Structure 1
């Protein structure tokens, strides 16, 4: 019970934090109450009509009164529904905006442990559940209670004996419905989790459809998708079984009440203790009780779903986020970067970097060389502050980079990788992506020229306004790399990080991209992850890494003479170049 109350408080707190349009929602609730109250008067009109029905007995006042009641109910009901949907959509829009803002501020380690489909499901499906509760069920719950109380009050006044007979049925129904409601909550929670998993599968397959097809993985992916679909089908059947129990019970209760009331009421009418009009009104009030009971049961079913959705949403909102603006603004960037006794592990039992120390001289080129899994890319991630070292520090000048604001630190870094990310949009969108300043068309074209990208861009149908497709699929590898280099040039970073930006290119594209990179590297502190000898021979310093430790530092000539593994690396590259 305590946990349930805690969930309710969390849900209410989440709604109130969105600053909901209270006045508008209050008007909507008042109109809903008016609709309910007007509805309670209609059986009374009906009673008088039945007791003395003739067109001559209908006064002008009665006709006007009934007409006004119906019009008031329709108008107030319609306006109430619109205002409720407006308010509900406003609340959910605010939650989605807050959630989206949070997702953008969460650190990289959060996404290491979450599938993208699960995250997308929280932002779309779970918030849609909250929207359904607010717009369709909350007011029905409160007006339903009002309708039940009002109808019961009138019924007790009309005939308390028949009302007591009717009420005996409800405790029995509650004993049956409460455990079913708990079961529905468990099913709903499982359905939401399975829906998130299925969304994750679909998102992964659609985003990597070319890999799926090139690998011939359609059958395997089909089986995974089918498993998700079957699981959702199974949960749907469980929910259907619960509904199959609930619906006949509700129908049976209504039928039983009708039989009892008509039988008992018929006796009362024949004995003169009750009029026929009162019996008709009594039955109408019965339906004004039964319909709200159905609405209230639906509310609790939806409310249980919303509690599960709230847990997931609050779980994201309460996750620790990156503080991008606290700390010192980085100004003196042309200083030595010192990696000082840095160790790092994604998991405590699996260290990736072990007591790594190296110096990255300002304005010079430092190359990281070593076999796969030696920790080169992880070191890049630490330099970008996607992660913090487990121990040790990285200092700019004499200051730990953790004392700098994330935003200003990352603004100093330009990153070009083997698979430089390209967003869906135009070439111009990609060139300007992430810039915090306006750039002119001349600046864009100048950056493209320095990246040797202007030639192919101007040959495209719409030049800089050409759509590149999702992940830049309409561009070749070399074109994507040159776009990434031009983007880095526009960013004008002081520190340049190159994750072997030419390793996946053919020789012609590589030559062009290498020339573009030389333009980019001028006057900048450059750190390169190198897999090719041509990248490192001219580096000012080469750092050889093995299994998370540094085993050699020096120039190409120094390491070639003193480091066995580096010599093997260099000779292997020379053999490859000769065979090519």
Structure 2
């Protein structure tokens, strides 16, 4: 191009100085114009191919990196996930992946193109006039040296920022995944503050980049423009000395230097993005490059015996968790688990029962000793083979996003997975029938094809556990391990499932871990554990006869009914089992329950409108305007950028003017005048370089300050808004915690890129385009107007088309990216379930398919979107050709002078090149528009359950808490046809203890959700001290109560942090210890190396279920609640802990008139209740003033007691 341009310049200069034959001049111009057309075609085709290849390579590379990251993560083994602060997977695969994709697809390609243009321009210059070219090449070391120094300084800062954001995202994801707990304890602000600590640290780190970016931007512009001044100044001298023969040679070299300079300016905006991509890649590669764990579930190593009998022996087994090596969990334990027999493990929480399961599953390796399967050390067996032979039903079952059938099918064996769909569905239904799940599944809106959503929140704990049991037994494993498998089931379902388990475990090796001793009575061998050792062994009868620890546990759990043996036998004949005598209990409240099971049922049908999902569709200009309007504190920085760009927008017009003057200098007759003007105009170019030095330093400084402030503000604001949303928002699959966490990172990042760096650069380009156009039209309106209208129309039109196509692509891929992030986050969050079901390969396959679909769509769409983009990047050659052709006509007719022509032509050409540069940011523009619209949409949502001006200061009246339900009905918004509660009416007086019992899925946990106001009733009302809770401040209302859930989540931080979660102040040591003592966890915490400062790890998985539950109970008690809500609060506790905690709860209730509401399947925990409500199918079918009254009625409650009696059939 520079050669053609130089030749054209020489032709025009020669024609004006010696008119000659006009026809010959015209033919030469026509010939040169054709070269511009050829250049257009070449740049369009090659640019399209190059950009398309870059986009395809970027999509595939990022795709491969994401897959490799997840695969490497899945191969690290469970101990890796126990370590705190490993970062959010959703952030890693989404935000970091997007950064890398942008760096490879757009930024690196642009840089490669710019660098190649830079060097090719100098190659042309060297070929044309080597001496002048070598002199101007002195700027190259300065340019690349400054880039290297700045990038070396920025990269470690950016890497640390990426790490901090990833750690913060872990906090956010854990909170979003357990939003009920966060709402119940009013912990929104505490989580935001914890997240804010990481944001602030990242913000402070980010501000350190400002000066470096200022130096980077300013130095590059200064050096390149100085090179132009040097090229002209020295070129003129060489021309005058005769070393350069023609003006065209100088112009070619000068234009080459200009092009090289422009290409460097083209590279500059990409440097930061490439640095970000590099730090993001570093974060991913820190996992990808990690050697697989010795417990790699995807390793083909290890033996795979043809036969598995199922004989298990634990020999001198000792173990301590890697993160707490000084705390032994198992100590020289010896135990035999014979093949085809049932062995039970019982004992206090924390005695090591569940740890044995972890060692059997090979989640961990023993510190010393061995575990043998059929005489072979587990360490010598293939891990996948072992886990396929062994199936585990967990204490806290995890279900995955998908349908009921898909969740159960995840338990299929390798051979079963290849069966026809019809046969697999038959196996799924048979397993669900066996697990007593078929009946309630059939009642779901779409039966087995009902979508469960994240963590199956809309199912009860018992329903989730039954699906989990079906998933575990569907493959008919050789070894079945049940870790509190029926703890969440009611007595009827427990009996049905226990019978099913008895059937499927016939002639199978079975290991049962239980606190509910009724479930282990029939075991062939019961091992009682304490302090990591087996202290008793034998059958139920043998251990009861010994009158040791086991016998004491039996007595503590025994449920009596006060019924004569004959009546027991009659009931047993009816399938109700036996009971035994209960010590008399005298109710302090004669009649607490006022019930009404039948009521008017509102005909809602499907009229419940779902929560609005999606995003807004504001234009880019409106998004920018909103961002500017609400960030007034950044106006000084924007003012600085505005002033800098106002000055810098004159760069292209100044270059055009000076360039035209430079050409004119060569035509001057007076050597002295030519020398004087050459020196002056070279100096003026240097002045322009100095102006760019100052201007771009301000731009780099201010843009980074703005970017850091914006990303800090909007990340924090988005999390605040997400945590403010009520539960129905989180019931939609689009709002799964993994998807939200990914949005939390990607949306502010895209907005930051637009509002900080790209907005200023686009304004600068726009300013240069306008200034160049105005200058061209002012100097010669005919040529100027022609080039502006045609040139800008071509470039802007094609650029606009690309933006529209990019927006469509962004909309199409956004949902898939969100789905892939959710899938990866869900798999890692449920790593134990993934491993025990050997789902690693399936997860990778599903993740790969999801990403491959995105890549295919991106490639196809890029093939279309890059056509207008490539056209916009090549269109300036058409404009040049038109300009030379039409300009030559104006010169021939005498309407324009040479100077006039060159001022108009060069100013418009520079302007058109700037306009083409504008559309290199189309992808960033599209992502920023999408991200900003999402943030604004999220902000526009209003929770139905929220603080308002009317209720902000309105809390429950009085100190004590009484509750009332009036004709309460409830349906989930996503299942409007299914009535969960049907006209519920009841009263719970202040200071009383009320309990809800009944089958799984009957509505008990829904009642808890309504009491906590996670949802509002579909109709009817709930009152606290006669105040309708819908009229009260949710924060003030919930501050009166505490919740202990069946599966309590713990959060990243220390034991102390978790206990103090629901407090708005820092508790004293005495308060923390007292709450821990009441929850019977104080001695255990004191035994830890760091006491209350011991990190709990990811989700507290290093603690047993009972230990986690006791920490949760301490978390509830430290708030001194007036209303204590217990949803299976002691289901994971051993007998002794349960008695201790229950006694503490009773004492606290008696001392402070605390109202307690409990949901329980283990009836021994609620036999002191002063009111018991039996719930079935959303109705109260039986209620009474305590255990004795209901037993005396010989109704449903009585039947449940008989079913749970310990010495039934003994």
Q: TM-score of the superposition, structure 1-length normalised?
A: 0.90
Q: Does 1:528 align with 2:1196?
A: no
Find out whether 1:460 has 2:1088 as its counterpart. yes
The counterpart of 1:538, out of the listed 1160, 1164, 1168, is 1168
The structure that is helix-richer by fraction is 1
Matched-pair contact (CA < 8 Å) for 2:964–2:986 = yes
Tell me which moved more, 543-552 or 187-196.
Answer: 187-196
More divergent stretch after superposition (526-535 vs 147-156): 147-156
Partner SS state of residue 1048, structure 2: coil
Structure 2 regions of 5+ residues with no counterpart?
A: 1-615
Moved more, 379-388 or 445-454: 445-454
> What is the distance in 2 between the residues matched to 1:5 and 1:352?
39
Which one is further off, 35-44 or 92-101?
92-101
Helix, strand or coil at the partner of 2:1062: coil
1: distance between equivalents of 2:1119 and 2:892? Answer: 92
Point out the more displaced range, 90-99 or 195-204: 90-99
In 2, distance between residues paired with 1:197 and 1:335?
43
Contact 1:28 1:84 in 2 (8 A): yes
Higher deviation after alignment, 352-361 or 41-50? 41-50
Does residue 879 of structure 2 align to residue 253 of structure 1? no
Alpha-carbon offset, residue 464 of structure 1: 1.0
- Aligned 8 A contact 2:803 2:922 in 1: yes
Structure 1 CA distance for aligned equivalents of residues 632 and 796 of structure 2: 36
Match in the other structure for 1:211: 833
The alignment status of 1:231 with 2:853, answered yes or no, reads: yes
2:639 corresponding residue in structure 1: 26
Whole-angstrom CA distance in 2 between matches of 1:400 and 1:260: 77
Deviation of 1:111 (Å): 1.4
Distance of 1:266 and 1:11 partners within structure 2: 43
Cα shift at 1:342 = 1.6
Structure 1 residues 411 and 172 mapped into 2: Cα distance closer, same or farther (>3 Å)?
Answer: closer
Question: How far 1:496 moved relative to its partner?
Answer: 0.8
Say if 2:777 is the partner of 1:156.
Answer: yes
1:335-346 maps to which residues of 2 (within 5 A)?
335-346=961-972
Alignment match of 1:551 (pick from 1181, 1184, 1201) = 1181
Deviation at 1:192, TM superposition (A): 2.5
The answer to whether the Cα contact below 8 Å between 1:368 and 1:545 also exists between their aligned partners in 2 is: yes
1:457-536 equivalence runs, <5 A: 457-507=1085-1135, 509-523=1137-1151, 524-536=1154-1166
Asked if structure 2 preserves the Cα contact closer than 8 Å seen for 1:369 and 1:529, the reply is yes
Q: Is 1:366–1:542's contact at 8 Å kept on the other side of the alignment? A: yes
| Corresponding position: 1:382 with 2:382 | no
Structure 2 CA distance for aligned equivalents of residues 162 and 264 of structure 1:
7
Instruction: Confirm or deny that 1:333 pairs with 2:959.
Output: yes
1:507/1:283 CA distance change after superposition, 3 Å:
farther
Distance 1:477 1:520 in 2: 24
**1:360/1:166 Cα in 2 relative to 1: closer, same or farther (>3 Å)?**
same
2:1199 aligned counterpart, secondary structure: helix
Query: What is the CA–CA distance in structure 1 between the aligned matches of 2:1051 and 2:796, rounded to whole Å?
Result: 55
Match of 2:1065 among 437, 441, 444: 437
Q: C-alpha deviations, 1:489-522, integer Å up to 9, x for none?
A: 2111011111112223444554554455445544
Match of 1:456, SS?
A: helix
Deviation digits for residues 113-163 of structure 1 (CA, Å, limit 9, x no counterpart): 222233223322122222222123323333323222221233334455543
Contact kept, 8 Å, 1:15 with 1:91, in 2: the verdict is no
2 CA distance for matches of 1:59 and 1:511?
98
SS in 1 for 2:1132: coil
The change in CA–CA distance for 1:567 and 1:521 in structure 2 (over 3 A counts) is: same
2:660 maps to what in 1? 47
- Compute the displacement of 1:331 (Å): 4.7
Correspondence for 1:568: 1199
Q: 1:161 to 1:329 in 2, by over 3 A?
A: closer
Superposed CA deviations along residues 198-256 of structure 1, whole A, max 9, x for unmatched, are 22222222222222212222233223312321232134314532453134313432233
Which stretch shows the higher mean deviation, 7-16 or 381-390? 7-16
> What's 1:36 paired with?
649
The counterpart of 2:699, out of the listed 80, 84, 96, is: 80
Deviation, 1:457, is 0.9
Distance in 2, matches of 1:399 and 1:271, equals 92
What SS does structure 1 have at the residue aligned with 2:1074?
Answer: helix
1:346 aligns to what SS in structure 2?
coil
TM-score by length of 2: 0.45
Relative to structure 2, which stretch is displaced further, 194-203 or 376-385? 194-203
**Is residue 120 of structure 1 aligned with residue 741 of structure 2?**
yes
CA separation of 1:175 and 1:6: change in aligned 2, threshold 3 A: closer
> Number of residue pairs matched?
577
1:68 aligns with 2:687: yes
Alignment partners' CA distance in 2, 1:11 and 1:76: 23
Using a 3 Å threshold, how does the CA distance of structure 1 residues 335 and 468 change in structure 2: closer, same or farther?
closer
- The verdict on how the C-alpha distance between 1:210 and 1:278 changes in structure 2, with shifts beyond 3 A counting, is farther
Larger radius of gyration between Structure 1 and Structure 2 = 2
In structure 2, C-alpha distance between the alignment counterparts of 1:353 and 1:254, rounded to whole Å: 70
The question of whether the paired residues in 2 share the 8 Å contact of 1:428 and 1:465 is answered with yes
Query: What is the CA–CA distance in structure 1 between the aligned matches of 2:778 and 2:625, rounded to whole Å?
Result: 37
SS of the aligned residue for 1:21 comes to: helix
Quote the Cα distance in structure 1 between the aligned partners of 2:967 and 2:782: 86
Partner of 1:451: 1079
Residue 350 of structure 1 aligns to a residue whose secondary structure is: coil
Q: Does 1:425 align with 2:1053?
A: yes
**Per-residue deviation at 1:410?**
0.7
Instruction: Choose which of 83, 93, 114 in structure 1 pairs with 2:712.
Output: 93
**1:129 — aligned with what?**
750
- 2:726 is matched with 107
Is residue 876–residue 913 contact of structure 2 (8 Å, CA) maintained in 1? no
1:240 alignment partner in structure 2? 862
Equivalent runs, 1:350-389 vs 2, <5 Å: 350-389=978-1017
Q: Which residue of 1 aligns with 2:946?
A: 323
Alpha-carbon RMSD across the aligned residues, in angstroms, is: 3.0
**Deviates most, 464-473 or 343-352:** 343-352
CA 1:333–1:223: 2 relative to 1, 3 Å: farther
- Give the SS at the match of 1:33: helix
Counterpart CA distance in 1 for 2:888 and 2:1031 is: 85
- Decide whether aligned partners of structure 1 residues 482 and 290 sit closer, same or farther in structure 2, where only a CA change above 3 A counts: same
Structure 1: stretches of 5+ with no match in the other structure: none
1:344 touches 1:391 (CA, 8 Å); kept in 2? yes
8 Å contact kept, 1:117–1:200 = yes
Q: Name the CA distance, whole Å, in 1 between partners of 2:1072 and 2:1003.
A: 35
User: SS state of the match for residue 320, structure 1?
Assistant: coil
Q: Quote how far apart the aligned CAs of 1:267 are.
A: 8.0
CA contact (8 A) 1:50 1:276 kept: no
> Is the CA contact (8 Å cut-off) linking 1:443 and 1:490 kept in structure 2?
yes
SS at match of 2:994: strand
Distance across 1 between alignment mates of 2:678 and 2:909? 28
CA distance in 2, matches of 1:380, 1:251: 62
Q: How far off its partner does 1:338 sit?
A: 2.1
Higher relative contact order, structure no. (Cα contacts within 8 Å, ≥ 6 residues apart) = 2
Equivalent position to 1:12, from 606, 625, 628: 625
Structure 1's 269 and 12: CA in aligned 2 closer, same or farther, altered over 3 A?
closer
Query: Deviation at 1:305?
Result: 3.5
**Offset from partner CA, 1:302-342 (integer Å, 9 cap, x none):** 44443333332222111113433525233513243222222
| Cα distance in structure 1, aligned partners of 2:890 and 2:1033 | 82
Partners of 1:102 and 1:317 within 8 A in 2: yes
Distance 1:328 1:169, change over 3 A: closer
> CA separation in 2, counterparts of 1:5 and 1:397?
46
**Post-superposition shift, 1:79?**
0.9
Q: Mean Cα displacement is larger for which, 543-552 or 293-302?
A: 293-302
Contact 1:451 1:482 in 2 (8 A): yes
Indicate how the Cα distance of structure 1 residues 579 and 222 shifts in structure 2: closer, same or farther if over 3 A, else same: farther
Preserved contact between residue 879 and residue 909 of structure 2 (Cα < 8 Å) = no
